[in-house]
Structure 1
Amino acid sequence: MLPFLSRIDIFPVKSLDGVAVSQATVLGSGALRGDRTYALFDAQNRFINAKRTAAIHRLRSAFSDDGEFITLAVDSDSSTVTFSLHQQRPDLETWLANYFQQPVTLQENHDLGFPDDTYAAGPTVISTATLQTVADWYSLTLDETRRRFRTNLEIDGVPAFWEDQLFSTDETPVCFTIGDVVLQGINPCQRCIVPTRDALTGSATKSFQKTFAQQRTATLPSWAPPQWFDHFYKLAVNTNIANQCGQSLRVGDSVSLL
């Protein structure tokens, strides 16, 4: 089996649920259209996200095909509310403020979104085999592991940790193609507290980070540049996409190293 793009996930609102799509368009910034376009902020203009607010895990969200409407529920409750992200933004912010028990504003950025790594603002990349391997470490399902690590592009037809060859020993970008799009692998993604929690409830998994570091150390492939692993709580690859605004990534696209 040759490497191919098996899955694309975008996250319209930072820290809320993702959406699996069949294709995604590259923006001028290198980000994917619709990914982390919106983010929640508190009264001090700080992110309300899963790093700082575990309660956000309990929110379920779904989005209309045109991206205009968001439907929310708490703990998969049958009671849902739907808002227009533009026409009903004050009502949406009030609902969120009541849930979080603090003022909430929804901000948007259609050019870059709100990535964690603004230096490498392209889509994050991981292999299906990597996610399955990590799932097995904790007896998690593949879907739960996807939800915890929240990557954009999933590559199949490759072994676990294949993506660890997409960054170099000297910080020179590693170029690879997905379909007609050239991506630059920049660095391994440093993980935060988010993957340590159940993605649907926010409850912590005991010794998650310790187990992860032990297993990652034991399974680090020979092709992984060791200079990047000053610690082993890293997974997936941050990328850039330069000068390819309007190009599309599609599920099924072939993947090749350049």
Structure 2
Amino acid sequence: MPASRMSPNMATISNISVYPIKGLRPEEPDAVEVAESGSLRYDRKYALFSEDDEYVNGRRNPEIQRVRSSFDLEEGAVTLWTDADDDRARFVLDDETERVEAWFSDFFDEPVRLEKANTNYTDNAGALSRKMITTTGPSIVSKATLETVASWFPDLIDGPEEMRRRARPNIVVDGVEPFWEDRLYADEDHLVTFEIGDVSMQGLRPLPRCSVPAQNPDSGELLKTFVKEFTRKRKETFPPWGDPTLLGAHDELDAGDYYLAVVTRIPTSEWGKRISVGDSVAIEGEKSLITAL
């Protein structure tokens, strides 16, 4: 990796988020174990599906943003309520699947089922379609990136915390510049190795986005100007140390410049280790994608 793209030695983890049920609100532990799938334990372990086998999530069902949730990660339980009704219902996910399904079916006024994944239901899975490689690793973004994107919409987005809730990353890195995460990927034939604490990881590609970051994370209301304005500003402010052609190298989804956060992979040698808030982050360099895997 060229020296100009190496990371300053001051990056640390400021936030960890896991989303036990895809599409719902996260839990934010101080530390989390790497599961035996290369994902963060608990992350996107369950998902909701419609009668026609499509995800019930923010992309297809913006009203899911009105659902409020709290998870007991150790017990595998969720408490559900809505923005309009504070009457709370608690369910143990593996033992009370039918009751969970009934709650969501009532909320959406259509049949909804809950399924548990063998690995996880992360949006990152299948993101390397050109190489037919899937990854369940966490998504990563810098705190400064969230601050910058929020500043593009000063009258419409209430600061970096709301932007984080819109972007739904697993890991936020502090102490680095805006779009620092663009250092974590190379071309389609290479990956970037880096360490979080004592966990070795691999940065694979920028993450193309859907409509969810344009939605209000409390109401689901769509910010209609978001994608167009984000794309324009992303192109205008691409870091001078970066290589904008690398976005195009991964652009099989025709996302243009509509990328936010980076897709990662955690090798099998690291499964069972822990990632914690406060861990340092250090970039090592590029490796051939095929030989590194």
Query: Which amino acid in the other structure matches residue 184 of structure 1?
Result: Q
Cα distance in 1, alignment partners of residues 239 and 75 from structure 2: 40
Task: State which of 232, 239, 242 in structure 1 corresponds to 2:264.
Answer: 239
Task: State which of 268, 271, 282 in structure 2 corresponds to 1:256.
Answer: 282
Cα distance in 2, alignment partners of residues 229 and 113 from structure 1: 26
1:85 maps to: 93
1:179/1:249 contact within 8 Å kept: yes
1:39/1:108 contact within 8 Å kept: yes
Give the C-alpha shift of residue 169 in structure 1.
Answer: 3.0
2:22 maps to: 14
1:165/1:225 contact within 8 Å kept: no
Cα distance in 1, alignment partners of residues 139 and 75 from structure 2: 21
Q: What is the RMSD of the two structures over their aligned residues, measured on CA atoms? A: 1.4
- SS of residue matched to 2:15: strand
Give structure 2 stretches of 5+ with no counterpart: 1-8, 126-133, 249-255, 285-293
1:104 maps to: 112
Q: For 1:121-132, list aligned pairs within 5 A.
A: 121-132=136-147
TM-score normalised per structure 2: 0.84
Deviates more, 1:139-148 or 1:210-219: 139-148
* % identity of equivalent residues: 37
1:120 maps to: 135
Cα distance in 2, alignment partners of residues 154 and 67 from structure 1: 26
2:12/2:280 contact within 8 Å kept: yes
Deviations 1:148-204 (A, max 9, x none): 000001100101111101001353010000000111000000000111110110111
Deviates more, 1:50-59 or 1:77-86: 77-86
2:48 maps to: 40
Cα distance in 1, alignment partners of residues 69 and 267 from structure 2: 31
- SS of residue matched to 1:147: helix
Matched, 1:189 2:207: yes
**Structure 1 25/76 Cα, relative in aligned 2: closer, same or farther at 3 Å?**
farther
- SS of residue matched to 1:221: coil
2:45/2:120 contact within 8 Å kept: yes
**Structure 1 236/179 Cα, relative in aligned 2: closer, same or farther at 3 Å?**
same
2:191/2:202 contact within 8 Å kept: yes
2:75/2:92 contact within 8 Å kept: no
| Divergent runs of 4+, >4 A | none
Cα distance in 2, alignment partners of residues 239 and 76 from structure 1: 37
**Structure 1 216/68 Cα, relative in aligned 2: closer, same or farther at 3 Å?**
same
Task: State which of 28, 32, 40 in structure 1 corresponds to 2:36.
Answer: 28
Give the C-alpha shift of residue 228 in structure 1.
Answer: 3.2
Give the C-alpha shift of residue 241 in structure 1.
Answer: 0.5
Query: Which amino acid in the other structure matches residue 55 of structure 2?
Result: F
1:135/1:145 contact within 8 Å kept: yes
- SS of residue matched to 2:152: helix
Give the C-alpha shift of residue 28 in structure 1.
Answer: 2.5
Deviations 1:41-87 (A, max 9, x none): 11222211111111111111111242422111111642222112122
Q: For 1:158-177, list aligned pairs within 5 A.
A: 158-177=176-195
Q: For 1:130-209, list aligned pairs within 5 A.
A: 130-139=145-154, 140=157, 141-209=159-227
Task: State which of 47, 50, 57 in structure 2 corresponds to 1:49.
Answer: 57
1:60/1:76 contact within 8 Å kept: no
